[in-house]
A and B are shown apart, each in its own frame.
Chain A
Amino acid sequence: MKKYGWFLICFVVFLTAFRMLDSVLVFPKHFPKPVYDFKKNPLDERKIALGRVLFYDPLLSSDNTISCASCHSSYNSFAHVDHNLSHGIDDQIGTRNAPALINLAWQKTFMWDGAVNHLDVQALAPITHPKEMGEELTHVIQKLQQSPTYPTLFYQAFGDSIITGQHVLLSLAQFQLTLISANSKYDSMLVKKAAFTPQEKNGYALFQQHCNTCHREPLFSTYAFKNNGLPVDTTLNDFGRWNITHQASDSLLFKVPTLRNLEYSYPYMHDGRFKRLSDVIYHYTNGIQKTKTLSPELQQPIKLTEREKVDLVAFLLTLSDRNFVFNPAFAYPPKIVIPSAKDQ
């Protein structure tokens, strides 16, 4: 009997462990294997919760006014609707459009030019950028350490109330890793839980013919760097990937963004120059500017009739994931757990 008792205990422990893993994060079955190495930063409910509080806390900026969520709002698929360029402290304007923060576990590099090589260290860029949060990580840690609640939250998450840069970054990464959007009509169609209308079906076929090479299913991006034929905005003179590598072949290349949730994440392109989806489609049919580094896929103009354009948009709207943008687990955390909000 004793032997069976042990077996039973082991079985129960195994089951609970499996359930916990399951409850922390479920990877969509139709997605490829994530790029992020979860073994190095295993997801934990307390670390995710801490990361969420940090994400929404303006304490991360030098004058305590700007949080990550200021430019990455959950209702906009964690992009910044209506703002072409990022906003920061003292009403400053940056040079790039705030991208949607979704399905980050599948991305190798971050920022429009791939300046950041790992999700863990991404947050350092906006925190320290003088036109975004204008703060220093060491000072953020001082502020967190002095707060009445953060040391406890860090102790609960990492077993150490002494706050380190590594722990701040790992928890922010954990929250962002949970931002998985895979519950759109397109996803339901894939698993046969929904059917496309004839218009959406036609749009899907057009998408596969003209867009799928770079905006590849099911993530709707390869996250590769491409020159998509946008004329240079001479007020910004942004050469994209070239800024990082200084290789001529990288001039004007920007990371291909995902098309998921584009209904919520306008305006479009790295500098947010297009307000409407129709502007984007017009660019691909009529606006491509040929330069040396233009993506080979765009050498021949894409030809679409007006009717086809409408069908294509109908399909693109099936990528909207309402459950994601209204998921309470991603929204502003209850006030009681936002330490700096409580202090005010």
Chain B
Amino acid sequence: MRTFCLFILYCMSIPYLNAQQNVRISFLPLVHSKPLVLGTINMDSLSHDSVRIDAFRFYVSNIVLLQDDSVVFRENTSYHLVDLADTNSLHLRFAVNEQLVYNTIQFQLGIDSLTNESGALGGALDPTRGMYWAWQSGYINLKLEGYRNSCPTRNHLFEFHLGGYRYPFNAIQPVSRKLPMQTNTYTCAIDIGTFLDQISLAKNNHIMSPSHAAVNLSQQLADLFYFLP
């Protein structure tokens, strides 16, 4: 009887011992420090160049939390399609132990090579999500499409479908950031205006397959993610 009581007590205490809390990461795409609104012209007061973004979507995978370089949490089946056209998708949520202490967050911008060679997958990875190349197997890690007045193309349009998982065109990018403080609700911003200022749209304006340019642009984009304090 005593054992039974102890067992009941233990069972009752489980939720408290392993209390979970949600961590939320919200992505905040910007254009020259202003929130990015799809299909809306943004004037840059400095360059007098106008920018319009028509599509911005990317994969975030393999989310890991670290405390001083040692992994303390790894999200299971960690694949998220962040799509500016779908507000819900901007907010990633996952549960961690309430006691968890961490100061660094890591994720991959894109889909790793093993997953790329794993056949037909579902959920965020279903090929119907518009992020899969049919003619040459592989996920598109990031899509950025839009208009910039100074872009020397027909109708000033640019189109970046960045992907590729095979050497030497492996475009997946690690993103690792020290967090300002542990709050469990984070905003991760990326300024597409800065990106467009960094690159030459005269040189690269239309990328639709794995290439050195795709790798370089992916790296530049990955470097631009930062967590707001």
Where the two chains meet, the residues of A that have a C-beta atom closer than 8 Å to any C-beta of B are 37, 40-41, 115-121, 124-125, 127-129, 137-138, 141, 164-167, 169-170, 173, 244-246
Contact = CB atoms under 8 A, between A and B. Distances in A.
Contact of B126 (A41, A166, A173, A244): A166
Given A41-B119, A121-B137, A245 B127 contact: no
Contact of B127 (A37, A117, A119, A169): A169
Given A117-B116, A121-B127, A166 B122 contact: yes
Q: Is the interface of A mostly helix, strand, loop or mixed?
A: helix
Contacts of A173: 119-120
Contact of B134 (A41, A118, A127, A170): A127
Contacts of A117: 116-117, 137-138
Given A124-B127, A165-B127, 5 more contacts: A124-B132, A129-B135, A137-B127, A141-B128, A166-B126
A137 B119 contact: no
Nearest to A40: B119
Interface in B84-138: 116-122, 126-130, 132, 134-138
Contacts, number: 69
B166 interface: yes
Contact of B137 (A116, A138, A165, A246): A116
Contacts of B130: 138
Contacts of A129: 134-135
Q: Is the interface of B mostly helix, strand, loop or mixed?
A: loop
Interface in B37-95: none
A40 B166 CA distance: 23
A118 B132 contact: no
Contacts of A138: 128, 130
A213 to B, nearest CB: 26
B120 A120 contact: yes
Contacts of A246: 211
B118 A164 contact: no
B135 A166 contact: no
A169 B120 contact: yes
A37 to B, nearest CB: 8
B161 to A, nearest CB: 14
